[in-house]
Amino acid sequence: MPNVNDIFQLDGKIALVTGGASGIGLATAKRLAQFGVKVMLLDINQELGEKAAGEINESGGFAQFFMCNVVSQADCQQVAESVEQAFGRIDILFNNAGVIRRKTVVELAEDEWDLVIDVSLKGAYNLSKFVIPIMAKNGGGSIINTGSGWGIKGGDKAAAYCAAKAGIVNLTRAMAIDHGPENIRVNCVSPGDTDTPLLREEARQLNKEEGAFLVSSAQGRPLERLGTPKDIANAVLFFASDLSTWVTGSVLVVDGGGLA
């Protein structure tokens, strides 16, 4: 019987995870660390980020926190160069950071539109710009972008978010085409409603009672529940590992059947 770690072939790899201080980012960092990946947590929340890294290290994994605003190209370049200098390589990039504003185009202020597009879409471009050359020098790597079911099918009062996530979906495909010859695979995980701080923030923005909002978010799905951050982390693990060596340009919907 093969060892499960041998199947995934991740031991000793170096990963960057944006939005790594909480939610899907943190769950993914923990899952990768369980398989021997050295995880770099990137976030703008220093307190939560350092706490998250500490939790991973205390459980026997390896994590470091980097203060990084993905909207800042200078921040992204500095982190990529620092990690390369320290470890000599970057094998996995999880472009996960995102924000949401539950408003129509009429209701959105310009700065709100810019924030959502910049964090969710420009952030993926910024990190990829500096990480891809490092991956290429070292024989390849895996990039996973966080999309959304709303990047495939529109949703109400979330115009900027839908636009950003649709951009992520097609950016994934374009990057897969451009960088496949360098043995860099680029895929997208598109979650449905997942029990994260972001989803709970949506309830606040819509002036909904949190518990009722979470219940309503699970309704109509064949699996009849919300997603958990671990559900999404497992999909990212697949794309990061050698189980998906001939998979690139793919969009994996992880939503309990919500788009079925």
Measured at the CA of 171, the angle between CA 141 and CA 150, to 5 degrees, comes to: 115
Residues 6+ apart with CB under 8 A from 59: 30, 33
Q: How far is CA 213 from the centre of its chain?
A: 23
Task: Enumerate the β-bridge partners of residue 190.
Answer: 253
Q: DSSP labels for 140-176?
A: -EEEEEE--GGGTS--TT-HHHHHHHHHHHHHHHHHH
Region for 256 from its dihedrals, namely left if φ exceeds 0, alpha if ψ lies in -120 to 50, beta otherwise: left
Q: Which residues are known catalytic residues?
A: 161
